[in-house]
Chains A and B, each alone.
Chain A
Amino acid sequence: MKLSTKAWERSANIYNAIIKHPFNQELMQGTLAKDKFAYYIEQDVIYLQDFSRCHAIIASKIPLEHMHSFLKYAEYTLIAEQEVVHQFFTKEFNFTETGLITPATLSYTSYMLKTCLNESVEIALAALLPCFWVYREVGLFIAAIAEKNNPYFRWIETYSSEAFCNSVDEAIIIFDAMAANTTEAVREKMLDAFYKSTCLEWHFWNDSYRKRVFDDLLN
């Protein structure tokens, strides 16, 4: 069995919880409160800055044949997602920044950076892959049901697009190729990292939905 298949199977329960989460259910129905979506976008901007940096870190370590893919992901993340999607929504809905950060945003970005800097490139890959993969699956799931007049259609379109889906397929292929060439011990750590990041994905949506604030002890 490919390691990617194993990784996804181990995280299946979390993915199901993500799909069923009120954030994504309401996004799908087009009823998600704008302030919750705005807060999520604000967190995502913070997240994508470090996500992009992590891809650059991986690009600096990964075998040459895969390096350009990761430089491309680093650039795509910043330009296509942050500048296009987030700027679109900020302008379209007149969002204003709160300047706040959720516990999940801080945890997840710290986890990714720590892993990319301290662990082998295979484990770093495993820590980043869930974001791509989960977003593709969520995007496709929602796209199949959401109406065209859904106010969040631009977001749905981005994460269900052919270009994005192809990028995810490419990332999974690289993940499996690297997994095939490493030790069993590292493969286990790859599975663990993938699982942890998938958990953090759930927390990211949950914290955004609940508008949690990191240093608000009563929240």
Chain B
Amino acid sequence: MTISEEILKKTSIQSNEIIYSKFIQKIRSGTLEPDKFIYYMIQDVNFLKYYAKCNAIIATKILYEYKADFVAYTKSSITYIKFVEEYFFEHPEYQSNSTTRATEGYTNYLVKNCATKPLELALSAILACELLYKSLGEYLKNNSVTNNSYEPWYLPLSDPEYVKGVDKLQYIVDDYGLAASSATQSEMIDIGAKGYVWEYEFFQDAYAKQIFNDY
């Protein structure tokens, strides 16, 4: 089994919990409360800043033979990023510095792994987000109600260019995994799996409009 297959197998419960979470189910039915979506988008903007930093860190270290594929992957989410940028351009009043525990925890976790761990582990750390969002894109495209006001959010996640980009990342991770020691392979799986837990917490905290310093 490849590293990505191991991660997906290990996180099938978390993946289901996310798909059947209130947040995603209400996106599917088009009934998600606007204030919850706004709060999620605020968290996503924050997340994407650090995610871009992680991609930059990886780009400095990745082997030359994978550079073209890695660049193609980083550019593949351009449609989604454009949606996010336009969303806040049209609604500057939504902007906020408020973060959740999961936003803080997840972004710190990603940057820490990308900055301090070997490249294989950094790649595994960022894989969870892409695998999950690709699966959410497919699920929502095939199961959402028609004329769903949240289409502009989830349709980019099933865009063929985005899917191809995630596939490239998955291939890179699996290739690095093949060449890694069994100890590193175990760590790759663990780090990737933890990413799924963070993803679950991210959606939960956004839905609950949790605030980081709410003790």
Contact = CB atoms under 8 A, between A and B. Distances in A.
Contacts of A196: 104, 212-213
Contact of A103 (B13, B105, B112): B105
B108 A107 contact: yes
B203 to A, nearest CB: 11
Interface stretch (B1-9, B39-47, B168-176, B192-200): B192-200
A132 interface: no
A195 to B, nearest CB: 7
Interface of B: 13-14, 17, 53, 101, 104-105, 107-109, 111-112, 115-116, 193-194, 197, 200-201, 212-213, 215
A188 B109 CA distance: 23
29 contacts: A103-B201, A106-B109, A106-B194, A107-B101, A107-B104, A107-B105, A107-B108, A107-B109, A110-B105, A110-B108, A110-B109, A111-B104, A113-B112, A113-B115, A113-B116, A114-B111, A114-B112, A114-B115, A117-B111, A196-B212, A196-B213, A199-B212, A202-B215, A203-B101, A203-B215, A206-B215, A214-B194, A215-B193, A217-B14
B contacts with A: majority SS: helix
A79 interface: no
Contacts, number: 61
A103 B101 contact: yes
A60 to B, nearest CB: 13
B215 A17 contact: yes
Interface size of A as a range: 20 to 34
A118 interface: yes
Contact of A117 (B104, B115, B212): B115
Given A111-B104, A113-B115, A113-B116, A14 B215 contact: yes
